[in-house]
Amino acid sequence: MTIDTSGKWWVGSEPTDIAEYPEAYGSDNAEVHDFRLARCKCGSISFLLDADDDEGVARRTCTACGSEHLICDSEEFWDEAQPERWACTECGSEAANIGVGFSIYPGRGGVRWLYVGERCAACGVLGCFAGWKVGTGDSMDLLDKV
């Protein structure tokens, strides 16, 4: 993992570099304890990303097979959302690698907060397009729903 922080944007050399961005982005009260990289059933790690930060939802669409997946608990709130499509601030590409950083309550008592991070598949710019509070004790299954 190599991240270049010398320019205007953080730039990652590989998809797993996404993990470091939410760690730096997270607040002291919602620090990241766990990370999962999104992977499609077809094996691809390149997606389009739509999210509504206000409603706390995100959806990834595989650029290889077109399969859609609502990230974590997004299915509960998707119908009320007005999602926007992510595009790279540097090159304008819409293809991204996606990962989720999870803030976990002590003793693995549930997910407190999650951050949907992305890395531009074209130029490597890192970011965090959405994040929301989960705050329930029975939410550890969300780590498997990236």
- Ordered by start, the domain boundaries in the chain are 6-144
Residue 74 dihedral angles phi and psi, to the nearest 5°: -60, -30
Give pLDDT, residue 46: 98
Q: Which amino acid is at 118?
A: E
pLDDT at 23: 80
Residue 125, classed as helix, strand or coil, is strand
Distance CA 68, CA 61 (A): 4
Please give the pLDDT value at position 109. Answer: 85
**Which pLDDT value is given to residue 140?**
93
pLDDT, position 30? 79
Beta partners for 47?
A: 62, 96
Sign of CA dihedral 6, 118, 45, 120: negative
- Pair 83, 65: CB distance under 8 Å: no
Q: Along the chain (146 residues), what's the average pLDDT of each consecutive run of 10 residues?
A: 90 95 73 95 98 96 98 96 97 98 89 96 97 89 95
